[in-house]
Chains A and B, each alone.
Chain A
Amino acid sequence: MSKEPYTEHEYDVIVIGAGGAGLRAAIEAARQGARTAVITKSLLGKAHTVMAEGGCAASLGNADDRDSWKVHFHDTMKGSKYLADWRMAEIHAKEAPDRVRELEQWGAVFDRTPTHVINQRNFGGHTFPRLAHVGDSTGLEIIRTLQERGIHEGIDMFTEHTVRHLLKEGERVTGCVAYGRVKGDFHAFSAKSVVLATGGITRCWTVCSGSWEYTGDGHALALWAGAELRDMEFVQFHPTGMVWPPSVRGILVTEGVRGEGGRLYNSEQQRFMFDYVPAMFRGDHADTIQESDQWVAEVVSGRQATVRRPPELLTRDVVAKAINAEVKAGRGSPHGGAFLDISHRGKDAILHKLPSMYHQFKELAGVDISEEMMEVGPTAHYVMGGVRVDPQTQETTVPGLFACGEVASGLHGANRLGGNSLSDLIVFGKRAGEHAAKRAKNLAPPPIDEAQVQAAIAEMVEPLERGEGENPGRIYDEMRDMMQAKVGIIRTKHELEEAVDDLRAFKARAQACFPGTDRRYNSGWHQALDLINMADVSMAATLAALTREESRGGHTRDDFPTPDDDHWGQHLNIVWMEEGELKIRQERLEPIRGDLVAVLDEVKAMIKARAEEQGGAR
């Protein structure tokens, strides 16, 4: 093996990823006195978080003072179909308000209430208006705030660098190896703690709302380093992605449209969501169009709702499956979606509250949403599954390795509520940074093991030296089409089994592709490497989907269409890797702590009483 040159670096804490979670973690680590670096595949401020639209959930109680951490905790658990880690849901609900207020003090300028404090909007599954927001570009606001704060905390930023390998010494993680995307050079980092904040995996599907970065790098790095993943079968298909023209298929239409009163219609002009209220939510959504219109009128004028919300605001899994069913029944829109209408709100309100949606449709589809309906359909949006972490410290099952943000798991269970990701990033980003720094305090800088570094570099360089092979772009397109067809929103046993075989074949093809020989900013080379993670992570999702023989939240089996509360309602799938092979086992959920059960009961009683007051339970 010929030796490649590389540059060595030494830090207390390395954060991989510069989205909301990574930046918040790095700020915290630096504030605790740790020498901290951030490594990111893109430039600063470009991470996926920048795309988030609707808002950030926190029970500030500004828009409705009946809100509290308890209601947020309840809503998160219920939305998760009770598979969420209740400790994380508790921490999240309690700490989110402070994290949002802190962002404001770092310069975030959220929309205001008439009383001059942070305004909050309604979103699916949230009992009260809870999402702090800036029009429909909340993610931009949050990432820019953290970026503008982060650059003054003495953090070193390695932008356009991709981490490909975690260094280990025995059981613990001791650093990482990365390549520079611009020059194609190599870097080895010694670190006492490493924080994964690499975001999600949704690029594994053709129709997705994610950026190119969403190739599941962190999930794969964790698997390769011996950490465990959980909940990988739960992929959130957001109900409203653009469906036309083909080149924009999948681009997100924020749930904020429905939060602002958007109505879903089928091709027969029916508000079909009234027919899809699941038993679990029966009684807390409007029964009639009139009731739902009144709710919209009340909340958009800043009053407290006195009636129940429209069924369009059911949780995402429910709405996505409803659209899917309407299309299957032959009542879809011309390009295979449903119609979403916000035009009744008028152009001024739309331009103020949903400006980027207005421009997105105008510029990309030639549709004026203040006059015409949008065509929307499900798009792969978020992965609830991810690296298993300790709820308090965010440390994974491998010492020295932490994870936060979308790459981590536990908070969202079978289904994430909209707005609960941005809050997840700042709550658990901070915790991960804090505990990573704490751990670093008691350790000496680990030595860099040259043999591991050279092995990692050899793996990276190999595709450039193959001389011939397929274009990685082709494999990428085909593999995503396969996942879309066989591990999509509705799954069945035989398709999932086929997907397992297909993924093996795709991985073999990926290991033989040829992206050319150039090391400098060679997009094909980067893709050739990403394909390997995508194959492993897709396999984790497929195995978990195959194993869970029931339907729940973001996982729907055609052959097992109902939830199985007795078994699967009590069990999680855990995936890990041994000698290059993925393994899976089930683990029983731990019963919810007594005082939290009481909290859930208290909130349930409150919601029931309210629903009866507002419209009478069915």
Chain B
Amino acid sequence: MSLKGRKQAFRVTRGVGDAAEMEEYEIELDEGMVVLDCVHRIQHEQQPDLAVRWNCKAGKCGSCSAEINGRPRLMCMTRMSDVVAETPAGTPIEIRPMKAFPHVKDLVTDVSWNYEVAQRIAPVKGPEAPNWEFNQAEAHRVQHFRECIECFLCVNTCHVLRDHARFDAFAGPRNLVRLAQYEMHPLDEEDRLPEIKNEFGVEYCNITRCCTEVCPAGIRITDDAIIPLKERVVDRYYDPLQRIWRAITGRKVRM
């Protein structure tokens, strides 16, 4: 579908917190535009002080998360042809900020909580000597998690946080991915399971897979990161054989 020349209406969140309202804009579209292009066009032609967070416009930095027609997505990777197609004729396209985080202004939210949780996670601790050795298969398992662009769309979508606001007890899917990445690092020596269970509350997740569905990096958050962490916690805390094995060998259990 060619979009060139088409007039398109948008409803965009404007203002701060409770005082925010939906404001309507109309712009002319061009070929191949993404939603972020439209927001920029609104800024450059009509509303210079419209707040939007973005950096790369290439799906690589995870800055431009928003809810487009109610679906959490990256504005820079969402093509207007798709959005126009999914929007009923005559209705404006709606762009709102992520709902789970405190509102800053317009399309911008305060995602600092994610960074605070990350701060509490110990960094990798491996051999002192350089030139670490591990094979591509081992690397690959961790690399998959490291493709996370920190868009926090998963966190925004997880009901434990979005609906129940358990920011105090649960690390959220993004930081569980980070924990999985360290826990499964072939040479990491840190014992992370006590924290994963207690401080980071892996057990709050009830495997709804909503986070996985929205991840623009295609990380299978629930199946590849969270479920294995849950299993390790179960083995450690609820499996007596493993506990004895650990007491004898003093070793971390590998799966």
Q: Which residues does A use to contact B, with CB under 8 Å?
A: 42-48, 50-51, 98, 101-102, 104-107, 109-112, 116-117, 119, 134-135, 137, 139-141, 144, 148-149, 151-152, 182, 211-213, 244-248, 251-252, 356, 359-360, 363-365, 471-474, 476-477, 514-516, 518, 520-525, 527
Min CB distance A152 to B, Å, is 5
Cβ contact within 8 Å between A211 and B55: yes
Asked whether A140 lies within 8 Å of B146 as measured between CB atoms, the reply is yes
Tell me how many residues of B have a C-beta within 8 Å of chain A: 60
6 A-B pairs with least C-beta separation: A245-B32, A524-B48, A473-B44, A107-B124, A521-B51, A516-B49
Q: Let me know if B130 and A105 touch, CB within 8 A.
A: yes
Contact B56 A524, beta carbon cutoff 8 Å: no
Does B249 reach chain A (CB closer than 8 Å)?
no
- Determine which of B52, B55, B59, B146 lies in contact with A144 in the assembled complex, contact meaning CB atoms within 8 Å: B146
Which of B48, B105, B126, B143 contacts A105, CB < 8 Å? B126
Give which listed residue, B58, B143, B150, contacts A109 with CB less than 8 A: B143
Q: Cα distance A524–B16 when bound, in Å?
A: 17
Provide the bound-state CA to CA distance between A332 and B128, in Å: 53
- B30 near A247 (CB under 8 angstroms)? yes
Given contacts A48-B55, A251-B58, 19 further A-B contacts (CB under 8 A): A44-B115, A50-B60, A104-B131, A106-B124, A107-B185, A112-B136, A135-B143, A141-B146, A148-B123, A245-B31, A248-B32, A356-B59, A360-B58, A473-B40, A473-B45, A474-B45, A518-B49, A521-B106, A524-B49
A45 contacts across to B, CB distance below 8 A: 61-62, 150
For the complex, is B139 an interface residue (Cβ under 8 Å from A)? yes
Neighbour of A51 across the interface among B44, B60, B150, CB < 8 A = B60
**Residue contact A520 to B105, C-beta cutoff 8 Å:** yes
Q: Considering residues B52, B123, B133, B182, which has the most beta carbons from chain A within 10 angstroms of its beta carbon? A: B123
- B15-46 interface (Cβ within 8 A of A): 16, 30-34, 37, 40, 43-45
Q: How far is the CB of A26 from chain B (nearest CB, A)?
A: 15
- Residue in B62, B124, B133, B146 whose beta carbon sits within 8 Å of that of A117 in the complex: B133
Q: Are A527 and B48 in contact (CB under 8 A)?
A: yes
Q: Say yes or no for B118: interface residue by CB 8 A criterion.
A: yes
- In the complex, are the beta carbons of B104 and A521 less than 8 A apart? yes
Residues of A within 8 Å of B134, CB to CB, are 112, 116
A471 touches B44 (CB 8 A): yes
- Complex Cα distance, B56 from A252, in Å, reads 11
Taking beta carbons and an 8 Å cutoff, which residues of B are in contact with A? 16, 30-34, 37, 40, 43-45, 48-63, 77, 79, 104-106, 108, 110-111, 115, 118-119, 122-124, 126-127, 130-136, 139, 142-143, 146-147, 149-150, 178, 182, 185
- With contacts A43-B63, A473-B43 taken as known, whether A523 is within 8 angstroms of B142 at the C-beta atoms is no
Complexed CA–CA distance, A516 and B46 (Å): 11
Per the bound structure, the CA–CA distance linking A107 and B126 in Å amounts to 8
Tell me the nearest residue of chain A to B63, going by C-beta: A46
Question: When chains A and B are docked, how far (Å) is the Cα of A176 from the Cα of B228?
Answer: 47
Q: Which residues of B contact A98 (CB under 8 A)?
A: 130
Which residues from chain B contact A247 at a C-beta distance below 8 Å?
A: 30-34, 37
B79 cross-chain contacts in A, Cβ below 8 A: 363-364
Q: Can you report 22 residue pairs joining A to B where beta carbons are below 8 Å apart?
A: A46-B63, A46-B150, A47-B55, A51-B56, A51-B58, A101-B130, A109-B139, A109-B143, A109-B185, A116-B134, A140-B60, A148-B178, A149-B123, A211-B56, A247-B31, A251-B58, A360-B59, A364-B79, A471-B44, A474-B45, A522-B51, A523-B43
B59→A359 contact, CB < 8 A: yes
Contacts of B56 in A (CB 8 A): 46, 48, 50-51, 211
Indicate whether A50 sits within 8 Å of B61 (C-beta atoms), given known contacts A111-B139, A364-B34, A523-B50: yes
Q: B218's closest neighbor in chain A, by CB?
A: A359
A472: B residues at CB distance < 8 A? 48
Residues of chain A lying within 8 A (CB to CB) of residue B185: 107, 109
Q: Please state if A471 and B45 are interface contacts (CB–CB under 8 Å).
A: yes
A349 CB, min distance to chain B CBs, angstroms: 13
B111 touches A43 (CB 8 A): yes
Q: Complex formed: what's the CA distance from A356 to B61 in Å? A: 13
Which residue of chain A is the closest to B82 with respect to CB atoms? A363
